[in-house]
Structure 1
Amino acid sequence: MQGDAQREVPGRYYDGITSRAHRVVLRVENGEACLAGEAERRVPLAQVRVSERTAHAPRKLTFADEACFEPDQRAALEALLHATGHRDSAVVRMQQSWRAVVIALGTLLLVLAVGYLYVLPAGAKLAARLLPVSVERQLGQGLLGVLDRRVFDASKLPAARRAALAQAFARMAPPRDGAPPYQLVFRHSRIGPNAFALPSGDIVLTDQLVELLRDDHAILATLAHELGHLHERHLTRRLIQGSVVAAAGTVLFGDASALVAGLPALALDLRYSREAEQEADDYAAAMLRRNGIGLVHLERLFTALQELEDELGAPPPYLSSHPPSAERLARLRQQLD
Structure 2
Amino acid sequence: MTPVPASYFDGKTSRAHHVTLSVVDGMAIVDGDAQRTAPITALRVSERTRNGGRKVTFPDDTYLEISDASEFDILLAETGYRDSIVVRMQQSWRNALIGLIATIAIMLLLYLYALPVAADIVAKALPASVERSISTGTLEFLDKRILAPSELPAARQESIIKNFQRMVLPKEGVPSYEIIFRQSNIGPNAFALPSGQIIMTDELVKLMSNDEQVIGVLAHELGHLHERHLMRRIVQSSAIGAVITVIFGDVSSIIATVPTVMLDMKYSRDAEREADNYAIAMMKANGIPLTQLAESFERMKAKEGATPPPYLSSHPSTEERIAHIQNAR
TM-score, structure 1 as length reference: 0.86
User: Residue 158 of structure 2 aligns with which residue?
Assistant: 163
Contact 2:176 2:196 in 1 (8 A): yes
- 8 Å contact kept, 2:122–2:242: no
| Counterpart residue type for residue 128 of structure 2 | V
Matches within 5 A, 1:1-337: 6-244=1-239, 261-310=256-305, 313-320=306-313, 323-336=316-329
Find the aligned partners of 2:145 and 2:315 in 1 and give their Cα distance: 21
Post-superposition offset of 1:302: 2.1
Residues 167-209 of structure 1: CA distance to partner in whole angstroms, max 9, x if unpaired?
Answer: 1111112211110111111223333322221123111222222
Aligned-pair identity (%): 48
Task: Give the residue type in structure 2 aligned to 1:205.
Answer: M
| Offset of residue 231 of structure 1 | 0.6
Q: What is the alpha-carbon root mean square deviation over aligned residues?
A: 2.5
Contact 1:246-1:262 within 8 A present in 2 as well: no
Alignment CA distance shift 1:73-1:300 (3 Å)? closer
CA change 1:31–1:334 in 2 (3 A) is same
Change (3 A) 1:10 1:202: closer
- Which secondary structure does the structure 2 equivalent of 1:318 belong to? coil
- Per-residue CA deviations over 1:25-67 (Å, capped at 9, x if unaligned) read 3222232111222222121111122222222233232211122
* CA pair 36-243 structure 1, distance change in 2 beyond 3 A: same
Distance in 2 between residues matched to 1:12 and 1:40, nearest whole Å: 12
What is the identity, as a one-letter code, of the residue corresponding to 1:299?
A
User: Does the residue aligned with 1:142 lie in a helix, a strand or coil?
Assistant: helix
Question: Could you tell me which residue of structure 2 aligns to residue 251 of structure 1?
Answer: none
Shift of 1:267: 4.7
For 2:88 and 2:75, locate their aligned partners in 1 and report how far apart those are by CA, in whole Å.
19
**Number of equivalenced pairs:** 321
| Shift in alpha-carbon separation, 1:263–1:328, aligned structure 2, 3 A | closer
Cα drift, residue 153 of structure 1: 3.1
Asked if the contact 1:11–1:69 (Cα under 8 Å) also holds between the matched residues in 2, the reply is: yes
Q: Distance in 1 between matches of 2:208 and 2:254?
A: 39
How far the C-alpha of 1:211 sits from its partner, in A, is 2.1
- Residues 185 and 17 (structure 1 numbering): CA distance in 2 closer, same or farther, change over 3 Å? same
CA distance change for structure 1 residues 60 and 133 in 2, over 3 Å: closer, same or farther? closer
Change (3 A) 1:63 1:188: closer
Which residue in 1 is equivalent to 2:247?
none
1:304/1:151 Cα in 2 relative to 1: closer, same or farther (>3 Å)? same
Asked if 1 retains the 8 angstrom alpha-carbon contact of 2:141 and 2:259, the reply is no
In structure 2, runs of 5+ residues without a counterpart are 244-251
- Contact kept, 8 Å, 1:16 with 1:65, in 2: the verdict is no
Q: 2:116, 2:232 within 8 Å by CA — same for their partners in 1?
A: yes
| Range with bigger deviation, 17-26 or 167-176 | 17-26
Structure 1: unaligned runs, 5 residues or longer: 1-5, 249-256
